[in-house]
């Protein structure tokens, strides 16, 4: 199943790795970048290497957020790519497509998640999405707002930049992108608002910083019950009509409407359910 939730766990806390995998998140990101102080980065990488070496064959894969190109830790972080239990590397400050392709070439089957969180990254977004080896784009909302010099900006002010990730992903044939974190991890009302916004704008997943965010993310990204019921009526009516014109709920069903309905049904099947309310 395509991940809807990506849970960060600090690389410097190996005691939390297994707990993160048992949290219910669709994917776990062991973070060697922002969650780890500079002085602790070598020891965090070593702890992760030891843990990876101890894992049995067939264990659940993880993603690792490495330190960005140009930092003192980047090259050593890339050594983690050789571990088969590492499914993907998240590359922060993604700005150059050729760098992402080079990282992906470290091992057959290694995916790259490009974390777009700068003005240069937004400007290069379509090239990043099209780079060989890139499996998904992620939106670094907090760092992007800082880079752009936005003062007191709300999440809605970043909508044009979110839209660019959605468009770039679609043009490159990638899965819908991953929305950024909601920093107030204990404010589930705010998280619900953020997830609903992400879904409206075309995102298909969200970065999480605490396990208690996961259920809200999964629920918010699933189709609403009423939306799914409409989609099923459209699909059933179209099938019964055998290609003839048909109306559902007083509106004609043409090809775009049918495709939309089919996409909602498929989305609900992937999500394993619906949500009761919300847009």
pLDDT tops 70 at residue 169: yes
Domain boundaries, the chain: 5-221, 225-271
Q: How confident is the model at residue 272 (pLDDT cuts 50, 70, 90)?
A: low
The phi and psi torsions of 70 (rounded to 5 degrees) equal 95, -10
Express each pLDDT in 206-224 by its tens digit: 999 999 999 999 999 987 7
pLDDT tops 50 at residue 279: no
pLDDT at 255 (0 to 100): 79
pTM of the model: 0.86
Q: CATH homologous superfamily for 5-221?
A: Phosphoenolpyruvate-binding domains (3.20.20.60)
């Amino acid at each position: 199943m395509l991940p809807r939730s990506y849970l960060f766990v600090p690389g410097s806390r190996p005691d939390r790795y297994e707990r993160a995998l048992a949290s219910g998140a669709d994917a776990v990101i062991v973070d060697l970048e922002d969650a780890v102080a500079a002085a602790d980065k070598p020891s965090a990488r070593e702890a992760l290497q030891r843990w990876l070496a101890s894992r049995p064959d067939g264990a659940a894969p993880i993603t690792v957020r490495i330190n960005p190109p140009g930092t003192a830790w980047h090259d050593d972080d890339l050594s983690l790519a050789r571990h088969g239990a590492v499914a993907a590397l998240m590359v922060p400050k993604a700005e150059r497509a050729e760098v992402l392709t080079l990282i992906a070439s470290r091992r057959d089957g290694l995916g790259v998640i490009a974390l777009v969180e700068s003005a240069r990254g937004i400007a290069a977004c379509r090239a990043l999405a099209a780079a060989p080896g890139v499996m998904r784009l992620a939106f670094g909302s907090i760092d992007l707002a800082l880079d752009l010099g936005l003062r007191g900006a709300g999440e809605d002010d970043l909508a044009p930049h979110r839209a660019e990730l959605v468009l770039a992903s679609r043009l490159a044939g990638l899965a819908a992108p991953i929305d950024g974190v909601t920093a107030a991890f204990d404010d589930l009302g705010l998280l619900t608002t953020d997830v609903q916004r992400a879904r409206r704008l075309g995102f298909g997943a969200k970065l999480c910083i605490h396990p208690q965010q996961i259920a809200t993310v999964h629920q918010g990204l699933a189709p609403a019950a009423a939306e799914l019921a409409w989609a099923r009526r459209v699909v059933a009516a179209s099938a019964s009509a055998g290609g003839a014109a048909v109306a559902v709920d007083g509106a004609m069903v043409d090809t775009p409407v049918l495709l939309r309905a089919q996409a909602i049904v498929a989305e609900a099947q992937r999500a394993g359910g619906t949500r009761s309310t919300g847009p």
